[in-house]
């Protein structure tokens, strides 16, 4: 039995992970589940999977969860805070850790799993965006295996030669083709972007995702973060990664080779496919996702991203090129900007403007320690919040 910790079990990725695990009860044992504040959903998951531990980031919510579990005689032990998250990520009885906490909050527990040498099923892109160099160094030092869960990076992983870490030139890879749906505003007139509402931004045409990730898809910052993540995961530079808008979200990404070949991974837009792939790799297991009917798909369209519509993509490319703490600054400013938009304090078109203003005011430094990265994150958040208040 493979012991599994799910960091962020009440989110969409966590729920899909538990769905796959439940289909293979003789293969996976859920050891620990974690959530931020959703007591009701974590309570239901604890009753179904009977994990040894449950962790809530919020201490008051943890007390409420413990009270509810005691009422139904569920033996799950409840922990709280960052310390609790880190402890269940590094448990000796856990072999696989699903890292699905959204945002920079997932960095420390994911890093704890890396340092414990686990198989990391990486759905938290911010861990690599904020601390890519440190993260990959720790993975190598502790023999941790990182398998990407983002549908795009999982597709790239499936299309790459097994020895890609030797360098693209040595293995015949020309470039990565990173696909993007274009989100809900791909064809919206530019002058109407300022009037976009949070509900409209969260209505993704293909994927069912959380609100923050949905807004990132609408601004295409999610693709910018994925570009940064791809550079770290596949040991390459942004010049070797081309973003391709593909509205159908059937091709999840491609790899182009020097001989003219392009390998692509296709499938329904259902996160259970990449989750099942990473949970079973190098084997394959059922995921609950139906096979792709190419006759029903009928056509596949591609177009370049419009830089006027998606300025966040350029901001992300500039950040990974600048290096050091620049990606951490970018990510922190984006999280604050998206939160301000969802709370209707700023307009949709103010999101990239706010991020750019923060990046212009702060100078990146060498990302040589976790403390330096966390300080950059705090500094960028404080400045972004200050600037956001002025826009209200």
pLDDT tens by residue, 191-229: 999 999 999 999 877 666 778 889 999 999 999 999 999
Model confidence at 103: pLDDT above 80: no
pLDDT digits (tens, 9 = 90+) for 344-372: 999 999 999 999 999 999 999 999 899 99
CA distance 384 to 356: 10
Three-state secondary-structure class, residue 282: coil
Stretch 307-325: mean pLDDT: 96
Annotated binding site for NADPH: 10-13, 37, 124, 126, 210
Distances, alpha carbon 59 to alpha carbons 50, 55, 75, 90, 309, in Å: 21, 9, 19, 20, 41
pLDDT band at 125 (very low <50, low <70, confident <90, very high): confident
CA distance 11 to 14: 5
Q: Do domains 2-148 and 323-391 have the same CATH topology?
A: no
Going by the DSSP 8-state scheme, the letter that residue 40 receives in this structure is H
Identify the helix (H) or strand (E) that includes residue 80.
strand 77-80
Identify the helix (H) or strand (E) that includes residue 180.
strand 173-180
pLDDT digits (tens, 9 = 90+) for 37-63: 999 999 999 999 999 999 999 999 999
H helix runs in 174-284, sequence order: 198-201, 211-219, 221-233, 272-280
Cis peptide before 124 (omega within 30 of 0): no
What local confidence, expressed as pLDDT, does residue 295 receive?
A: 96
What local confidence, expressed as pLDDT, does residue 150 receive?
A: 93
Stretch 141-152: mean pLDDT: 96
Cβ neighbours, 10 Å, residue 84: 22
pLDDT digits (tens, 9 = 90+) for 264-294: 999 999 999 999 999 999 999 999 999 999 9
Cβ neighbours, 10 Å, residue 242: 17
What local confidence, expressed as pLDDT, does residue 127 receive?
A: 86
Stretch 291-312: mean pLDDT: 95
pLDDT digits (tens, 9 = 90+) for 156-196: 999 999 999 999 999 999 999 999 999 999 999 999 999 99
What local confidence, expressed as pLDDT, does residue 124 receive?
A: 86
Three-state secondary-structure class, residue 244: strand
Identify the helix (H) or strand (E) that includes residue 174.
strand 173-180
Query: Following DSSP, what letter does each residue of 113-155 receive, concatenated?
Result: HHHTTPEEEE--THHHHHHHHHHHHHHHHTT-EEEE-SHHHHH
Longest dimension (CA), the chain: 64
What local confidence, expressed as pLDDT, does residue 391 receive?
A: 81
Annotated binding site: 10-13, 37, 124-126, 150-152, 181, 204, 210, 217, 222-223, 226
Stretch 15-42: mean pLDDT: 97
What local confidence, expressed as pLDDT, does residue 392 receive?
A: 65
Q: Which fold has domain 323-391?
A: Rna Polymerase Sigma Factor; Chain: A (1.10.1740)
What local confidence, expressed as pLDDT, does residue 69 receive?
A: 98
Going by the DSSP 8-state scheme, the letter that residue 309 receives in this structure is T
- The answer to whether residues 36 and 28 touch, using CB atoms and an 8 Å cutoff, is no
What local confidence, expressed as pLDDT, does residue 208 receive?
A: 64
Q: What distance, in Å, lies between the first and last C-alpha atoms of the chain? A: 53
Mean pLDDT of the chain: 95
Annotated binding site for 1-deoxy-D-xylulose 5-phosphate: 125, 151-152, 181, 204, 217, 222-223, 226
Annotated binding site for Mn(2+): 150, 152, 226
pLDDT over 90, % of the chain: 93
**Residue 312, C-beta contacts closer than 8 angstroms, at least 6 positions apart:** 219, 220, 221, 224, 334, 351, 352, 355
CA distance 94 to 55: 15
- The answer to whether residues 373 and 360 touch, using CB atoms and an 8 Å cutoff, is no
Q: Length of the chain in residues, anyone?
A: 392
- The answer to whether residues 150 and 123 touch, using CB atoms and an 8 Å cutoff, is yes
Model confidence at 134: pLDDT above 80: yes
Domain 2-148: CATH class, spelled out: alpha beta
**Residue 382, C-beta contacts closer than 8 angstroms, at least 6 positions apart:** none
CA distance 232 to 218: 24
Q: Shortest CA distance to 101 belongs to which of 17, 179, 201?
A: 17
Going by the DSSP 8-state scheme, the letter that residue 76 receives in this structure is P
């Amino acid at each position: 039995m493979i012991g599994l910790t799910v960091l962020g079990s009440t989110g969409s990725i966590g729920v899909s992970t538990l769905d796959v695990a439940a289909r293979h009860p003789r293969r996976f044992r859920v050891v620990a589940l974690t959530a931020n504040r959703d007591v009701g959903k974590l309570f239901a998951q604890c009753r179904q999977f009977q994990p040894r531990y449950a962790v809530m980031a919020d201490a008051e919510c943890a007390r409420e969860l413990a009270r509810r579990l005691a009422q139904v005689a569920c033996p799950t032990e409840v922990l709280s805070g960052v310390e609790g998250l880190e402890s269940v990520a590094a448990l000796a009885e856990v072999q696989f850790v699903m890292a699905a906490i959204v945002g920079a909050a997932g960095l420390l527990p994911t890093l704890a799993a890396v340092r414990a040498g686990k198989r990391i099923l990486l759905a938290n892109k911010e861990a690599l965006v904020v601390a890519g160099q440190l993260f990959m160094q720790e993975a190598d030092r502790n023999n941790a295996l990182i398998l990407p869960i983002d549908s795009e990076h999982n597709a790239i992983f499936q299309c790459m030669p097994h020895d890609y870490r030797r360098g693209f030139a040595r293995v015949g890879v020309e470039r990565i083709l990173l696909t993007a749906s274009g989100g809900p505003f791909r064809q919206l007139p530019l002058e109407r972007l300022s009037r976009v509402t949070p509900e409209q931004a969260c209505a993704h045409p293909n994927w069912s995702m959380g609100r923050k990730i949905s807004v990132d898809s609408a601004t295409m910052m999610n693709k910018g973060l994925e570009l940064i993540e791809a550079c770290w995961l596949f040991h390459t530079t942004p010049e070797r990664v081309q973003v391709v808008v593909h509205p159908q979200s059937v091709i999840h990404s491609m790899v182009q080779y020097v001989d003219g070949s392009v390998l692509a991974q296709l499938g329904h837009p259902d996160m259970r496919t990449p989750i099942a792939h990473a949970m079973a790799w190098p084997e394959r297991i059922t995921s609950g996702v139906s096979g792709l009917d190419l006759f029903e798909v009928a056509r596949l369209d591609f177009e370049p991203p419009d830089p006027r519509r998606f300025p966040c993509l350029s901001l992300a490319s500039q950040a990974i090129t600048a290096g050091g703490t620049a990606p951490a600054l970018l990510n922190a400013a984006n999280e604050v900007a998206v939160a301000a938009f969802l709370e209707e304090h700023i307009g949709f078109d103010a999101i990239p403007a706010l991020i750019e203003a923060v990046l212009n005011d702060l100078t990146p430094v060498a990302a040589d320690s976790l403390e330096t990265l966390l300080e950059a994150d705090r500094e960028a958040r404080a400045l972004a919040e200050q600037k956001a208040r002025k826009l209200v």
